[in-house]
Structure 1
C-alpha cells in the first residue's frame, strides 16, 4: 500500500527532474535516456517511466522511435530560426489572454515564481534563471486558458530554455548582468499589467521581451560568421 501511495509522488519527481535536466541542458539535445537507470534512481517500475516518456514525447521534450532508446529532443540552427519566427506570435497572444483571463490565485503563483527568478539573477544561479524563467512563462500560458495556445507555448519554451542556457553559460559580464536586470524588470512589468488586465500592454511587453531574448541569444548561440535569424 505504501509503495502504491508513493508512486505518484515519485513519478511527479521524475517528471520535474527530467524537465529541469532537459531545459538546463544537463541532458543535452540528442542524449539517450536510460530507462533502467531512471527507474532505479526514482524507485519506480518500468511501466510508469515508459508512460511518462510517452507523455513528455507528446509535449516535445523527448523523441521516441521504434526499436530505439528514448532521446532528448534534438535542436539545430533550423530550430533557432523557427523559434524566433513563431515565438513572438505565441508569446504575445499568451500574454494578452493571460491579462484577460487570469485569476488572483494564478497571479499570486506568478509573483512567487518571479521572486525565485529574481533571486536566481541576484545569486548568479544559471540553472535557476533558466528554470524559473521557464516556469514564469509557463504560468502565463496557463493563465491564458486557451487549449490551442498552451501546447504551442510549452513546445516553444523547451527550445527557449535551451537556447537561453547557451547564452547564460558564458561568463557573466556587466552587459549580460544589465540585460538580465532588464529581463527581470520586464517580468515585473508583465505582472503589473496582467494584474490590471491591460491586454495590449501585456502583449507589447511580450514583444519587447522576446526581442531582448533574440538579440542576446543570437549573439552567443551562433558562431562567428553564421547569419543569425531575423524576425
Structure 2
C-alpha cells in the first residue's frame, strides 16, 4: 500500500498551518491550488479537501469562484479578538484544570521545554509556534466542543500578531518574556493541582501581560475607543 500520498497530504496540511501562523502566507492573500498541488505532489481534489479543513479551523476563508483566502486581520476581527480573548482564555484555563489527563500534562511540560528553548535562542517563529501549541494543548485538556473552535481561531490571530510584534531585538520586552515563561510554569502547577479558579485567574493575567503592548501596536491612531473594552453599544 502506497503511503506517500497520505504523508504528502499530512505534510501539506501541517505546513500550510505553519505558514499561515508565521505569516509566510500573509493575511488576506489568496492561495493558488495549482502551486500547492505541485509543491506537495498532490492532485487538486485532496488540496481542495485540505482547504475545506483549514476553512473549518479558521485558517482560511473559501470564496466561490475566487478560491481560498488566508483569514484576514481587519480592524473588526482584531476588535473582536480583544473582546473575546480574556473570556475564552479564562474558560479554557478553568476547564483544563478540571479535566486534564496525566498524558496531556506531560505533553504540556514537553512543549514548555521547547518554549523556553525558543526564547533562550531568540527564535521568534519557534516562540510563536510553541506558545500556540502550549495553549492548544490546554484547549484539548478543556475538552469542550463549543470552546475549542473559538480558541483555535483566537490562537491563529494571537500567533500572527506575535510574529509581527514580539521581536527578540526589542529589549523592552525582555521582562515580559521572563514573566511569560514563569506563567506557563504556573499553569502546569495549577493544572496538576486541579485548581480551577486560580488557573482561570492566571489565564486572564497571562492575557493582560501582552494586551497593552499588542493594543498599542495594532490600534490606528484615529481609533479612540480602546480595544479589549466592550463598547457601550454592546455592554
TM-score by length of 2: 0.92
Provide Cα deviations, 1:33-63, integer angstroms capped at 9, x if missing partner: 1111111111211111110100111111101
Q: Output aligned runs, 1:51-200, within 5 Å.
A: 51-169=49-167, 172-200=169-197
Question: Do 1:138 and 1:154's aligned partners in 2 also have CA atoms closer than 8 Å?
Answer: yes
Q: Which residue of 2 aligns with 1:50?
A: 48
Query: How many residues in Structure 1 have an aligned counterpart in Structure 2?
Result: 228
1:226 positional shift? 4.3
TM-score by length of 1: 0.94
Distance between the aligned counterparts of 1:230 and 1:140, measured in 2? 22
Provide Cα deviations, 1:66-108, integer angstroms capped at 9, x if missing partner: 1103110111122221111111111111111011100000011
Distance between the aligned counterparts of 1:57 and 1:93, measured in 2? 24
Q: Which residue of 1 aligns with 2:232?
A: none
Question: Do 2:99 and 2:141's aligned partners in 1 also have CA atoms closer than 8 Å?
Answer: yes
Question: Do 1:166 and 1:217's aligned partners in 2 also have CA atoms closer than 8 Å?
Answer: no
Distance between the aligned counterparts of 1:213 and 1:9, measured in 2? 37
Q: 5+ unaligned residues in a row in structure 1: which ranges?
A: none
Q: Which residue of 1 aligns with 2:206?
A: 209
- Aligned with 1:64: secondary structure? strand
